[in-house]
Chain A
Amino acid sequence: MPATAVRGMMKVTVHADHRNGAGQLIARPTSIQAPDPPQCLSIRCLGRFILDSLFVAYLSSYHRRRVAYAEKNRPEKGKVILERYRTGNPAPTNLIGALVANIKLTCPVCRRVETKW
């Protein structure tokens, strides 16, 4: 049998900042890590993986929506939005928070209210 060895993997990370001519931040796209694959086949492991996947899906949706929202509300045009929608920080850290953040972004009144998640 031929000797083989697997070593390493390539990882790429990209951050981007979109600013206007005055240097004001318009939006910062966010990269999200995919959930770790399940380490076992127990109900608990699979359940955890499903919840993590759901969280990542809702978090991705949130970041897509907030960047689109921030892009439509450029600061030099007098549009004042919460800074978190431009920077992506703080971002939801759990599934419920991600769900609420998505709902808030669709509501013109709610999305102006600062909340913690």
Chain B
Amino acid sequence: MAQTQTITDTGIAELILLWREELSTGMESIVALNMATVCTAAVASTFADPADTATHHVDSGLAIQAIDTVAGATVNTAGDTILFDHVFTATGTKNVAGIHVCNNDDDVTFVECCFNAVLAVENTDTITIDGQCTINQA
């Protein structure tokens, strides 16, 4: 299975809420996914129900936390891209199948990514995430 990543349906709904100036928050949090086997990212995944049987890690440096850096960027037209960079530092032995990139309220997942193999992290290991979302107008 290849690495899979997608913007979720709930993530798009949160964007629309932002356009409507309804209660919504931007990209702010990240959490590692816990699963012993490879998952497959799905548009229907939600914050409460990640892909397949994955769950959110709740400890060991992999629980939900503020993203280190969120910034705007340009790929095709000015300001069409958001960059997010983060480093998880594990404090225990865990399996990491992927990540969720979430809103500031920690109740909506914008992006789900499932790695192409489960990362077996040990104490002091780091996982560096370097991601971007682009609205490609081409």
Specify the main secondary structure of chain B where it touches its partner: strand
Cβ–Cβ < 8 Å partners of A79 in chain B: none
Among listed A25-33, A36-44, A45-53, A100-108, interface-contacting one? A25-33
Interface size on B, residues (CB 8 A): 35
Cβ–Cβ < 8 Å partners of B135 in chain A: 8-11
Cβ–Cβ < 8 Å partners of B1 in chain A: 60, 64
Contact residue among A13, A32, A60, A67 (Cβ-Cβ distance under 8 Å from B115)? A67
Contact residue among A19, A59, A64 (Cβ-Cβ distance under 8 Å from B126)? A19
Does B63 touch A at the CB level, under 8 Å?
Answer: no
Please, which residue of chain A has its CB at the minimum distance from the CB of B81? A11
Nearest-CB distance from A71 to chain B (Å)? 5
Interface hits, B56-104 → A, CB 8 Å: 99
* Distance of A97 Cα from B12 Cα, bound (Å): 39
Interface hits, B99-138 → A, CB 8 Å: 99, 111, 113, 115-138
13 contacts between A and B (CB under 8 A): A9-B135, A9-B136, A12-B5, A12-B134, A14-B111, A14-B129, A15-B131, A16-B99, A21-B126, A26-B119, A29-B117, A64-B38, A64-B117
Task: Name B residues whose Cβ lies closer than 8 Å to a Cβ of A.
Answer: 1-3, 5-7, 12, 38, 99, 111, 113, 115-138
